[in-house]
Amino acid sequence: MTKHGNRAGIGMTSARTRERLVQRLRDQRITNPVVLDQIRNVPRHLFVDEALATRAYEDTALPIGYGQTISQPYVVARMTEALLEGTIPGKVLEIGTGCGYQTAVLAPLVRFVYSIERINALLDRARNRFKELGIRNVHLRHGDGFLGWPAHGPYDAILMAAAPLAIPQVLFDQLAPGGKLIAPVGPEGKQQLMRITKRGEELQKETLGLVSFVPLLQGLG
């Protein structure tokens, strides 16, 4: 039996376990049915270390090594829902691939995801998971998230999976007119989840709540 087969068969993927998580998100006012379906269907246990697999469907962040975490399912759902509200973006830039869980939730809901990760070992792991799950509309790059990925811009949306103290201007420059940027912003312990929409020369800012993310770091890991 393959490693995937072993991990898929040890009980933590039961429909009841996943449904309990989805109900918890509903209780926290996640209402978009396609987002809830993705949380239900994406095998989160494949994105965490095997030792933590039994905790994969808890609504909590978990360590994935290299000082990084897999985001709490509620936060993944909230960010995805905020991204999809109104016009569904065709092309999305993701800053911080990490283990690839947020990417896997988002990818079937948009046309293309361009995802940057500064830690090469995490990028390789995510690439293997996407291949295993048949996700083919994600383009990956080992790079510095502070610089974005200008070659494929402008983007209909940008999603940041790590928190800068302030959002780099270069990312707004890569955002298409009418585009949305979803990001945690601020120092540790005081981060706000922001949705910023580009309206001509103006940036319309909305605060979506308090969150806790690892900081966005410059350079390559």
Give Cα 67 to chain centroid, integer Å. 17
14 belongs to the catalytic site = no
Cα–Cα distance between 78 and 31 in angstroms, integer?
9
- Out of 14, 71, 115, 212, the active site residue is 71
Measure Cα distances from 5 to 96, 127, 216 in Å.
28, 18, 35
Within 64-167, residue ranges assigned H as helices are: 73-84, 101-106, 120-133
- Which DSSP string corresponds to 68-96? EEEPPHHHHHHHHHHHHSSSPPSEEEEE-
The torsion defined by the Cα of 114, 143, 43 and 111, in degrees rounded to 10, comes to: 0
Q: Which residues are catalytic?
A: 71
